Amino acid sequence: MKANFYTKLLSLSAAVIAVILISQLFIHSAEPNKQPEVEIVKQPTYAISSLDIPNNINFAGEKAPIQRYDVKESFDRELLVNTYWQSQTILFIKRANRYFPIIEPILKEQGVPDDFKYLSIIESSFMPRAKSPAGAVGLWQFMRATAREYGLEVTKEVDERYHIEKSTLAACKYLKKMHAHYDSWTLAAAAYNAGRSGVNRQLDRQKTDSYYDLLLGEETGRYVYRILAIKEILTNAEHYGFFVKNEDVYPHINTIDFELKTGIKDFAVFAQQYGITYKELKNLNPWLREAYITNSSKKSYTLKLPEASKKYLNNPLKVVPDSTQVK
């Protein structure tokens, strides 16, 4: 009886062990090809790095003391901001192809250093219709009173702050006046932002005659460094990673001059007579602020029309009878 009990117990134990072994066999056979897990390390698809600072930097021929830590760090900030704000800087490069050829000859003729073309970029991002919250408008961001002081017409119908050539000429007059006062183009640039009284006050308070020695507010304190950074990037665009094909820049628009000596009742009708749209007319002449011009003083204005409009010159005008001369 006792032997029979041990025999049954042994048989039961053997059965349990057999079940365990068989179950393990099925578990392992269910995943015959399972490989050990491998950690995958992804490589970065975009690298951001600090930028080398040039050893020599100048504005309008006036050297910036870039070896000083404060000057170097201020320039570094603007260089980084404008290099890594790629969409904005790409637009600067594209727009420069259109507006530099207009601005550069005026600067040269007026005896203003070529570097001031970069000032117009940071003022308006090269957007002719730019308007600041304070009311400054155009490529050179003139306030109403200053514009009139420097010979620009500002009325409801005509606002020459939006006129690229005339506003550039007015900016030159202002900058030359500031240079005559400071004997420094760098301080003249600072005064363009802060005004002569603002710069004078800080020069007197801080007992210095150098922009780079002044402790200024955020906007004017960064102003010249922004100009320097934009100059550096646009002069060496590919070095900073900007590759813009010739066919991708914004083209210069060839135009003809249309001399206007009376009013125009409807610019949309006028535009149609010259084979263009109202939008095209206004884009070429953003200084025309209304859909008409009365010109009661019979002043002579020069409108820009696309070169293709030349073939319509002999058409009889319905809006401005016998009042124009095209050259």
Say whether both 74 and 161 belong to one domain. yes
Residues 321 and 208 in one domain: no
Same domain for 65 and 126: yes
Do 186 and 242 lie in one domain? The reply is: yes
How many CB atoms sit inside 10 A of residue 122's CB?
A: 22
Confidence of residue 86 (pLDDT cuts 50, 70, 90): very high
> What is the pLDDT of the chain when averaged over all its residues?
89
For the record, the structure tokens of 271 come out as 């535009």
Q: Is residue 312 part of a domain?
A: yes
Task: Tell me whether residue 244 is exposed, middle or buried, using C-beta atoms within 10 angstroms of its C-beta: 0 to 12, 13 to 18, 19 or more.
Answer: middle
Calculate mean pLDDT across residues 131-152.
97
What local confidence, expressed as pLDDT, does residue 311 receive? 86
Report the percent of the chain where pLDDT is more than 70: 82
Question: At residue 324, what are phi and psi to the nearest 5 degrees?
Answer: -130, 160
CB 128 within 8 A of CB 138: yes
Residue 215, domain CATH: 1.10.530.10
- Within a domain: 211: yes
Residue 312 has a pLDDT of: 83
Does residue 181 register a pLDDT over 70?
Answer: yes
What average pLDDT score do residues 67-83 get?
97
C-alpha–C-alpha distance, residues 124 and 136, integer Å: 10
State which of 248, 266, 298 marks the end of a domain. 248
**Residue 259 and residue 232 share a domain:** no
Instruction: Pick the closest to residue 115 from 55, 64, 65 (CA basis).
Output: 64
CA separation, residue 191 to residues 90, 148, 197, 239 (Å):
28, 18, 8, 31
Whether 180 and 299 map to the same domain: the answer is no
Looking at the domain assignment, is residue 280 inside a domain? Answer: yes
Q: Which tens digit of pLDDT belongs to each residue from 290-324? A: 999 999 889 999 999 999 998 887 765 554 444 44
Residues 130 and 138: beta-carbon distance below 8 Å: yes
Q: What is the mean pLDDT of the segment spanning 187-199?
A: 98
Residue 20 within any structural domain of the chain: no
For 173, other C-beta atoms within 10 Å of its C-beta total 14
CA distances from 99 to 161, 240, 252 (A): 15, 22, 8
Q: What is the pLDDT of residue 24?
A: 57
Question: Does 194 have pLDDT greater than 50?
Answer: yes
Q: What is the pLDDT of residue 326?
A: 40
Share of the chain above pLDDT 90, in %: 78
Closest CA to 281 of 264, 292, 268: 268
Residue that finishes a domain, picked among 188, 216, 248? 248
Gap between the Cα atoms of 214 and 208, Å rounded: 7
Element (H, E) at 218: helix 218-235
What is the pLDDT, as a whole number, of residue 325?
42
Is residue 12 over pLDDT 90?
no
Tell me if 104 is assigned to some domain: yes
Q: How many domains does the chain have?
A: 2
Indicate whether 157 and 295 sit together in one domain.
Answer: no
In a domain, 14, yes or no: no
Residue 47 belongs to some domain of the structure:
no
* pLDDT value of position 40: 62
In which domain, by residue range, is 211 found?
58-248
Same domain, 91 and 180: yes
| pLDDT single digits (tens) 20-34 | 555 555 555 555 555
**133 and 74 co-located in one domain:** yes
Using 50, 70 and 90 to split pLDDT, how confident is the model at 327?
A: very low
35's CB contacts (< 8 A; 6+ apart) are none
- pTM, rounded to two decimals: 0.82
In this structure, the answer to whether residues 180 and 224 fall within a common structural domain is: yes
Q: What pLDDT was estimated at residue 34?
A: 57
What is the tens place of the pLDDT at every residue in 217-270?
999 999 999 999 999 999 999 999 999 999 999 999 999 999 999 999 999 999
Q: Are residues 92 and 216 in the same domain?
A: yes
Please indicate, yes or no, if residue 321 is contained in any of the structural domains: yes
| More reliable by pLDDT, 236 or 11 | 236
Do 277 and 233 have their domain in common?
Answer: no
Contact 307, 254 (CB under 8 A): yes
* Boundary residue ending a domain (231, 248, 265): 248
pLDDT value at position 324? 47
